[in-house]
Amino acid sequence: MKKQKPKVINTFSLLTEHDIYLFKEGSHFRLYEKLGSHITEHEGVKGTFFAVWAPNAESVSVIGNFNNWNYGDYPLNTRWDGSGIWEGFIPGIDKGALYKYHIVSRTNNYTVDKNDPFAFYCELPPGTSIINGTIRPGCKIASRQIRSTPQSAYTRSTLAPGSVTLQTPSGC
């Protein structure tokens, strides 16, 4: 018997009304805690909450190695508040899963598979996927070194040679 895929739960959100207020105002400085993918629990079920801002999308779905990159399996819902944020909780998706967002535009039904702008980890080329949460043991990832010194808004930020390092994490 074929195992049934879990359905997207659209009654759960990490975003509060205050988050949406700050987001619309342009002053939410911790969006990385709300948008992107976040491994969490909902009603005792472990899974991943996905949220992405796609204001001109007709539809958004999550695709990945957990559903053979099938566009129709995990559609996200747009929020009712006009923020343009699409979100949903998908049970059973754990750390190390590869994913992207499949977006269908309102303009000419243009479709594209996009990476998560709030992702913490991604595959190294030739792979182009995002790695959910923490990563699989032995997996090579690209990681930027974070500077603790303040940057001027008027200076151009570039990646210096050696600022991107390959890591083989342990204990993921």
Residue 1 lies in a domain: no
Average pLDDT over residues 148-160: 47
Going 124 to 125 to 131 to 137, the CA torsion angle's sign is negative
Q: What is the CATH number of the domain that holds 21?
A: 2.60.40.10
Average pLDDT rounded to a whole number, residues 98-113: 94
Whole-number Å distance between alpha carbons of 73 and 145: 36
Q: What is the mean pLDDT of residues 87-109?
A: 93
Pairing of strands 141-144, 98-105: unpaired
Residue 7 lies in a domain: no
- Asked whether residue 27 is domain-assigned, the answer is yes
Q: Which residues contact 11 (CB under 8 A, 6 or more apart)?
A: none
Burial of 137 (0-12, 13-18, 19+ CB in 10 A): exposed
Residue 49 confidence (pLDDT) above 90: yes
Asked if pLDDT for residue 116 goes beyond 60, the answer is yes
Distance between CA atoms of 168 and 124, rounded to whole angstroms? Answer: 12
Percent of the residues in the chain that have a pLDDT greater than 70, as a whole number: 75
When pLDDT is cut at 50, 70 and 90, the band that residue 161 belongs to is: low
Sequence-ordered list of residues with C-beta below 8 angstroms from that of 107, at least 6 positions apart, any chain: 56
Is residue 149 assigned to a domain?
Answer: yes
Query: Rounded to an integer, what distance in angstroms lies between the CA atom of residue 108 and that of residue 19?
Result: 32
Q: What is the mean pLDDT of residues 20-41?
A: 93
Is 9 a domain residue? no
Q: What is the pTM of this model?
A: 0.76
Domain contains 106: yes
> What is the residue range of 54's domain?
17-167
**Mean local confidence (pLDDT), 159-172:** 46
Q: How many structural domains is the chain composed of?
A: 1
Q: How far apart are CA 95 and CA 115, in angstroms?
A: 16
In a domain, 63, yes or no: yes
Q: Do the domain assignments include residue 154?
A: yes
